[in-house]
């Protein structure tokens, strides 16, 4: 587990909203679970929204189809190509095509775009699957995510399994052909969902649970079991040795108030108190694979800092104009 403060080393602990801390609980390439503490819901939600809609990735944005005799029309195939996640480790350093002054938008630019080519023809009686593995990239660092994952898996195992065929684009029968050129560009999820690097980003308030031990002692074992079973998720349990109620997994609580209602129905109001810690959040982040989940969070924090710096600079310029105007009237 790791913990990091998102502020300066001399940050004051009194203004906790400005210096949140992050504690990593679990981290994989496509999954990250962490705690965000010492802040409020506005910061947590801002971070979540930036991860979903503001962190850039690379996705196919333009498709030029030369030959298509498949059962799917051109627009359908172009849409399917756009939704194939591409490895986007270099996305932060790339230029947006609208801001690139080194090209005219034809796709042959190393700064803002990557070209893909696909050419497949079926010459047998067996149905041919055209998949993401058939896409040929001009930049080896930008390719379909499943192709990159399969390459690593094959290198480790020494063979390619039947499941490593790639994402199906279209199926071809004898005599059918698909030939096209595609251009991938940098973008953000706010413009189109195909650029969103996140499959899921959620956060919840960390719950605090207090059991009234005196009231609990007045319950029979059968009453305790009935009360535990009233929770839709396995939050509580009964200790087999002491027969006492215990909290098994506080984070499984969904704020449904079922156990509170059950206690009231049993004539035991105040048996349990559950309330959220308003300065502590538990995040769960799942990546599409375009970038690692850890990089998704780090990039989102950097982008959020840039946006806050822009707001601060705008406020300072506004204050300076107001001061200049005031001095000019003296």
Q: Where in the chain is the domain with CATH 3.30.70?
A: 213-270
Measured at the CA of 203, the angle between CA 202 and CA 208, to 5 degrees, comes to 150
Q: Give the whole-angstrom CA distance, residue 271 versus residue 258.
A: 13
Min mean pLDDT across 62-76, 114-128, 162-176, 270-284 is at 162-176
Taking alpha carbons only, the member of 176, 175, 201 closest to residue 54 is 201
Could you tell me which CATH class the domain 57-192 is placed in? mainly beta
pLDDT in tens, 128-142: 999 999 999 999 999
Q: Quick one: residue 207, left, alpha or beta (phi over 0 = left, psi -120 to 50 = alpha)?
A: beta
Residues 6+ apart with CB under 8 A from 69: 175, 176, 177, 178
What is the model's pLDDT at position 154? 60
Q: Give the whole-angstrom CA distance, residue 142 versus residue 166.
A: 15
Measured at the CA of 33, the angle between CA 31 and CA 34, to 5 degrees, comes to 145
Q: Give the whole-angstrom CA distance, residue 97 versus residue 91.
A: 12
Could you tell me the CA-to-CA distances from 242 to 237, 239, 245 in Å, in that order? 12, 6, 9
Neighbours of 252 (CB within 10 A): 14
CB 5 within 8 A of CB 21: yes
CB 211 within 8 A of CB 145: no
What is the model's pLDDT at position 273? 93
pLDDT in tens, 69-122: 999 999 999 999 999 999 999 999 999 988 888 887 666 788 999 999 999 999
Q: Give the whole-angstrom CA distance, residue 47 versus residue 39.
A: 12
pLDDT in tens, 11-40: 444 444 468 889 999 999 999 999 999 898
Q: Give the whole-angstrom CA distance, residue 300 versus residue 50.
A: 6
Q: Is the dihedral of CA 287, 292, 294, 298 positive or negative?
A: negative
Average pLDDT for 147-167: 68
Confidence of residue 155 (pLDDT cuts 50, 70, 90): low
Element (H, E) at 46: helix 41-53
- What is the fold of 213-270? Alpha-Beta Plaits (3.30.70)
Q: Where in the chain is the domain with CATH 2.170.120.12?
A: 57-192
CB 38 within 8 A of CB 22: no
At residue 258, the 3 state secondary structure works out as helix
pLDDT in tens, 242-279: 888 899 999 999 999 999 999 999 999 999 999 999 99
Q: What is the mean pLDDT of the chain?
A: 88
Token output for 281: 């959040």
Q: Give the whole-angstrom CA distance, residue 5 versus residue 21.
A: 4
Element (H, E) at 228: helix 221-229
For a pLDDT cut of 70, what percent of the chain falls above it? 86
Neighbours of 257 (CB within 10 A): 11
Helix/strand/coil (H, E, C) string of 168-185?
EEEEECCCCEEEEEEEEE
Q: For 227-247, b where at least 16 C-beta lie within 10 A, e where not — what string?
A: bbebbeeebbbbeeeeeebee
Token output for 58: 């690379």
| Residues recorded for the chain | 330
Q: Give the whole-angstrom CA distance, residue 41 versus residue 158.
A: 48
Query: Which residue is it, tokens 């067996």?
Result: 126
């Amino acid at each position: 587990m790791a913990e990091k403060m998102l502020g300066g080393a001399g940050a004051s602990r009194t203004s906790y909203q400005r210096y949140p801390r992050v504690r990593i609980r679990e981290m994989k390439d496509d999954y990250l679970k962490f705690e965000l503490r010492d802040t409020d819901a506005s910061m947590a939600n801002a971070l979540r929204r930036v991860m979903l809609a503001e962190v850039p990735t690379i996705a196919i944005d333009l498709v030029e189809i030369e030959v298509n005799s498949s059962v799917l029309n051109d627009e359908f195939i172009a849409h399917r190509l756009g939704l194939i996640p591409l490895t986007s480790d270099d996305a932060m350093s790339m230029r947006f095509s609208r801001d690139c002054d080194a090209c005219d938008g034809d796709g042959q630019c190393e700064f803002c775009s990557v070209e893909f080519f696909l050419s497949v023809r079926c010459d047998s009686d067996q149905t041919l699957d055209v998949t993401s593995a058939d896409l040929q990239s001009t930049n080896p660092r930008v390719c379909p995510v499943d192709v990159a994952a399969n390459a690593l898996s094959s290198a480790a195992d020494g063979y390619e399994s039947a499941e490593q065929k790639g994402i199906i684009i279209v199926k071809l029968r004898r005599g059918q052909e698909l030939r096209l050129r595609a251009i991938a560009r940098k973008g953000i999820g706010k413009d189109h969902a195909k650029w969103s690097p996140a499959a899921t980003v959620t956060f919840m308030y960390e719950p605090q649970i207090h059991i009234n031990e005196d009231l609990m002692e007045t319950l029979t074992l059968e009453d305790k079991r009935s009360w535990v079973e009233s929770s839709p998720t396995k939050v509580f349990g009964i200790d087999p040795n002491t027969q006492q109620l215990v909290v098994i997994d506080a984070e499984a609580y969904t704020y449904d108030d079922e156990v509170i209602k059950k206690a009231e129905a049993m004539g035991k109001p105040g048996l349990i108190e559950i309330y959220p810690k308003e300065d502590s959040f538990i995040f769960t982040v799942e990546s599409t694979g375009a970038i690692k989940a850890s990089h998704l969070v780090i990039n989102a924090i950097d982008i959020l800092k840039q946006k806050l710096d822009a707001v601060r600079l705008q406020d300072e310029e506004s204050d300076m104009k107001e001061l200049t105007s005031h001095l000019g009237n003296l």
